[in-house]
Chain A
Amino acid sequence: MLVENLRGWVALVAYLSRRTLLNRRMVIALACALLLSALVGYAVSEEMNRIDDLANMLDLFVLSFFLLVIPLIYGASILRSDIEDKSITMILTSPLNRPMIYIGYRAALFVCVVVAMLVITSAGALTFFGLAGIEPGALDLYLKVGMLTVIGSIVYSSLYLTVSLITGKVIYFGLFYAFIWEGFVGFLPGGIGDFTIRHYVRSIGSSWIEQGGLGSYQGAELPYSFLVLTALAVGLVALGSFLLQQKELE
């Protein structure tokens, strides 16, 4: 039974990932993001102090914008739309238990967000490398930002997926969280920024990266940042699993 369930779970993750990545609206959104990223890569390649500017570009566009928006776009729809159009029925009436199903959605969302984020990050970085050549430290910077996007993707997508089980207005929640809470309130003095995911992602980044504003960021200690993000991601997945288990498909 366990092997059959595992096979079913893998099939579910593959199906959801493929369906979400190939969704026409998502493909158009991703193409626009790619274009923007490549444009920024080109702009930075024209600057004098290019390695610091590359770091700032990746910080601003990838870690502070796309990392908040892409998980929101995918996370708001992957599970919520299936509940609203009731197509989740075929999955909920399978022998997979609901926590497994939730984790399946969670895994598919992670795959989609990571693929999208890495493609966007790569578009900017490769444009930069193509035009300016690969400077010392640039490839290392690109790889470390790539790892930060993977870490951030796990936490942000956990947040949006869980919220999508609580409210159908997850887009509004996400826009508030990303642009008001993280983008504005998080910068107010008095340590409020400690209550943002971005703070801990940038804290990890500041331990890894020396260039640009990220290199001089005064954040939390590396182990503490990892611990906070891990606890948050695990807690959100546990909460989401519980919520789906209690969810009635009316």
Chain B
Amino acid sequence: MNPIVSAKGLSKWYGDVIGLNTLNLDLYPGITGIVGPNGAGKSTFFKLIMGLIRPRLGEISVLGENPWGNSRINARIGFCPDYDSLPLDSTGRDYLRLIATLNGVEDTEASIGDVASTVGMSKDIGRRIGGYSKGMKQRVKIAAALIHRPELLILDEPLAGTDPLGRKDLIDLIRSLHRESGFDIIVSSHVLREVERMTREIALLYKGRAIASGNVSEIRALIDQHPHRIVVRGEGTRELAKRLLDEGYVISVRLDGDGITVEVDDPEGFFTSIPGMTDDTGVRVEEMYSLDDSLEAVFEYLVEG
């Protein structure tokens, strides 16, 4: 399968600030989540994909073409930027009409009706954009990205600033755009849990580099190369801490209020032996959980690694 986006040694910097640093990354059809903290280079990467900026070093290929100075490729891509770029005085309908016409859409009114319905804005599309909520603005931006039926959708932080209910709806929308309409989607976020709800394919960016990419499960496998942290809460956990320090797989134990945080390099060994140890020490465990169940932890580990 050919990658839809391929970056080779891609670098971009703004004065002394590094946006991307020798990024090597191939993204394939489907939904791919680009994950990283603020300043990781996600938006820079998207601007390079859209040909809004040009690389200082390296190459980028989008749908087999170089995007810089290549406006034809824009007919094949829909872009939803992370910043507010909407004309607040226009109505949603007027805005979409302009975008549709700019993109050479034939039946603009029918297309507006279709995308407004897709993003759940049919009722409000005739209202002034200035009166929209953040979630509605995000929906209109996504509608604008969809209106010319591109092959590839680039959604930069589409969930930013939306309320929990709005986030859930947008996540469902993004999933359905791929599942039901067949769009290939590249979506960025710094909220890892939300990306995980959209896709299993992710790329982790940090300080302008791709530190891992692939299926979440594959990335999780990388965790085994790193220590795990497990929190145990209950009565008598100090005794348990002492006992744990004798175990070879324990790296460190930190006392934390009424509980302990144990860092281990063999979680399997820990979970196998913990019932016996609690019996031996008489500890009453009320709560035990791993800090590493979420994608957040994967990211943290890989960054630290």
Q: Is the CB of B53 within 8 A of A8?
A: no
Q: Is the CB of A95 within 8 A of B71?
A: yes
Interface hit among A126-134, A205-213, A242-250: A242-250
Selected from A90, A96, A248, the residue in CB contact (under 8 A) with B71 is: A96
Q: For the complex, what is the distance from the CA of A69 to the CA of B231, rounded to whole Å?
A: 69
Chain A residue nearest to B145 (CB atoms) is: A93
Interface hit among A11-19, A153-161, A217-225: A11-19
Selected from B53, B102, B103, B104, the residue in CB contact (under 8 A) with A250 is: B53
A5 interface residue per 8 A CB criterion: yes
Selected from A8, A22, A245, the residue in CB contact (under 8 A) with B102 is: A8
Closest chain B CB from A30 CB (angstroms): 17
B219 interface residue per 8 A CB criterion: no
B86 interface residue per 8 A CB criterion: yes
Q: For the complex, what is the distance from the CA of A5 to the CA of B74, rounded to whole Å?
A: 12
Question: For chain A residues 38-96, which have a beta carbon within 8 Å of chain B?
Answer: 85-87, 89-96
* CB-CB under 8 A for A87 and B85, given A12-B102, A95-B104: yes
Q: For the complex, what is the distance from the CA of A5 to the CA of B101, rounded to whole Å?
A: 9
Question: For chain B residues 51-66, which have a beta carbon within 8 Å of chain A?
Answer: 52-54
Interface hit among B76-84, B170-178, B191-199, B282-290: B76-84
Q: Is the CB of A249 within 8 A of B52?
A: yes
B50 interface residue per 8 A CB criterion: yes
Q: Is the CB of B102 within 8 A of A96?
A: yes
Listed residue (B14, B69, B71, B72) with the most chain A CB atoms within 10 angstroms of its CB:
B71
* CB-CB under 8 A for A87 and B77, given A4-B104, A7-B101, A98-B71: no
Q: Mark B134-178, 1 if CB is under 8 A from A, else 0.
A: 000000000010000000000000000000000000000000000
Interface size of A in residues (CB-CB distance below 8 Å): 27
Which residues of B have CB within 8 Å of A11? Answer: 97-98, 101-102
Closest chain A CB from B265 CB (angstroms): 43
Closest chain B CB from A46 CB (angstroms): 42
Q: Is the CB of B87 within 8 A of A19?
A: yes
Selected from A8, A93, A96, A245, the residue in CB contact (under 8 A) with B52 is: A93
Chain A residue nearest to B101 (CB atoms) is: A11
Selected from A5, A15, A245, A250, the residue in CB contact (under 8 A) with B69 is: A245
Which residues of A have CB within 8 Å of B74? Answer: 93-95
Q: Is the CB of B71 within 8 A of A97?
A: yes
Q: Is the CB of A95 within 8 A of B72?
A: yes
Which residues of B have CB within 8 Å of A245? Answer: 69
Which residues of A have CB within 8 Å of B69? Answer: 98, 245
B47 interface residue per 8 A CB criterion: yes
Chain A interface, DSSP helix/strand/loop, else mixed: helix
Q: Is the CB of B101 within 8 A of A248?
A: no
Q: Is the CB of B14 within 8 A of A95?
A: no
* CB-CB under 8 A for A89 and B144, given A7-B104, A95-B74: no
Q: For the complex, what is the distance from the CA of A200 to the CA of B232, rounded to whole Å?
A: 85
Q: For the complex, what is the distance from the CA of A8 to the CA of B86, rounded to whole Å?
A: 18
A1 interface residue per 8 A CB criterion: yes
Chain A residue nearest to B44 (CB atoms) is: A250
Selected from A1, A87, A97, A248, the residue in CB contact (under 8 A) with B87 is: A87
Q: For the complex, what is the distance from the CA of A93 to the CA of B103, rounded to whole Å?
A: 9
Q: Is the CB of A249 within 8 A of B98?
A: no
Which residues of A have CB within 8 Å of B85? Answer: 85-87, 89-90
B99 interface residue per 8 A CB criterion: yes
**Interface on B for A, CB 8 Å cutoff?**
14, 47, 50, 52-54, 69, 71-72, 74-75, 77, 79, 81, 83, 85-87, 89, 97-99, 101-104, 144
Known: A86-B81, A89-B81. 11 other contacts (CB 8 A): A11-B97, A15-B98, A19-B87, A85-B85, A86-B85, A90-B144, A92-B52, A94-B74, A95-B103, A96-B71, A97-B71
Could you give 25 example pairs across A and B, Cβ below 8 Å?
A8-B104, A11-B101, A12-B102, A22-B89, A86-B81, A86-B83, A86-B85, A87-B85, A87-B86, A87-B87, A89-B52, A89-B85, A90-B102, A93-B77, A94-B74, A94-B99, A94-B102, A95-B75, A95-B102, A95-B104, A96-B102, A98-B69, A249-B52, A249-B53, A250-B14
